[in-house]
Structure 1
């Protein structure tokens, strides 16, 4: 079942979730789910984060995986220009891109029989991800580190750093491994498991 309507649900505190949240996709799994995993997708790190979560963390038997993407609408426009149409057009384009990103990964989770929801949000990623984690009472947040330079990180702040320091649950931050590192790691694991003296 999928829907593009605005999501309005009662939160744990009895309030109503942000009207700008859109439920893009939902798929029910088994009835014995015991953990909520918030998986944050960003176009630059989505593949790495998703693959890491699949290979190392999420479980079909116990996890509800909530995929989220936050899109920012921050278009500077001169005050004397009527930009309403332009902003609407850009907003719609970014909305479509966000929904496409979420559907791509949600449909793959469906094929693998994971229980999942996909939610598109609008606003500052730091605050929106933190809000959603609290709202759904996430047990774990998994997100990718964006490769920002030192100056940009200082000016804008790191979303992953902010979430790690302010989120009430465990936060896992994934990073892409270089091919050489992956090969070295494989050899290290093999040597540990095959050695008689494997106490190192």
Structure 2
């Protein structure tokens, strides 16, 4: 059946997918590609770098190690972007995808980018933290789900979810 002009399949959706170096964000992208992707979608991968080694150090190094730490973080970021570029190419969606790096608290930054870019939906991974840890440190996916102006799909990694349900740890 051919799609009618103006039908959902002809509309351009902008799908925002937060990424980091975890298996959970990779799973979210794979899940999107396998289950939700439509040919006219624009995909925006968003990363919030964590320059935690430099920013959270108790003193400012004067021996050049701060520069070295920043370069190391930049190399990790490049490797991350290369990994996700390969995944986009594997699924044939690299021509309609962009990667954006933003600073700030991840949940807040993701929601801001969503608003600024006019995203249609957010697809995010979930680390599957336990209730206590999520309560104490917060969860990016919880924040996004509660503050997003658009629908959010939280992809739970099946194997991790099974371990969590049955009380088995990593």
Q: 1:97 aligns with which of 71, 76, 92?
A: 76
Question: Contact 1:73–1:122 at 8 Å: present in 2 too?
Answer: no
What is the aligned partner in structure 2 of residue 70 from structure 1?
48
How far residue 176 of structure 1 moved from its aligned partner, in angstroms, is 0.9
What is the aligned partner in structure 1 of residue 115 from structure 2?
134
Larger radius of gyration: 1
Question: Contact 1:141–1:170 at 8 Å: present in 2 too?
Answer: yes
> CA 1:84/1:172 → structure 2, altered by over 3 Å: closer, same or farther?
farther
CA–CA distance in structure 1, aligned partners of residues 11 and 65 of structure 2: 44
What is the aligned partner in structure 2 of residue 170 from structure 1?
151
Q: TM-score, normalised by structure 2?
A: 0.74
Aligned residues: 147
How far residue 84 of structure 1 moved from its aligned partner, in angstroms, is 7.3
Task: For 1:15-54, list aligned pairs within 5 A.
Answer: 34-44=12-22, 45-54=24-33
> CA 1:78/1:143 → structure 2, altered by over 3 Å: closer, same or farther?
same
CA–CA distance in structure 2, aligned partners of residues 73 and 84 of structure 1: 18
Q: TM-score, normalised by structure 1?
A: 0.64
Q: Calculate the aligned-residue CA RMSD, in Å.
A: 2.3
Consecutive unaligned residues in structure 1, runs of 5 or more: 1-31, 182-200
Task: For 1:53-64, list aligned pairs within 5 A.
Answer: 53-59=32-38, 61-64=39-42
Consecutive unaligned residues in structure 2, runs of 5 or more: 1-9, 163-170
CA–CA distance in structure 2, aligned partners of residues 150 and 174 of structure 1: 17
Question: Contact 2:43–2:98 at 8 Å: present in 1 too?
Answer: yes
> CA 1:135/1:147 → structure 2, altered by over 3 Å: closer, same or farther?
same
CA–CA distance in structure 2, aligned partners of residues 84 and 171 of structure 1: 45
CA–CA distance in structure 2, aligned partners of residues 156 and 143 of structure 1: 18
How far residue 33 of structure 1 moved from its aligned partner, in angstroms, is 5.9
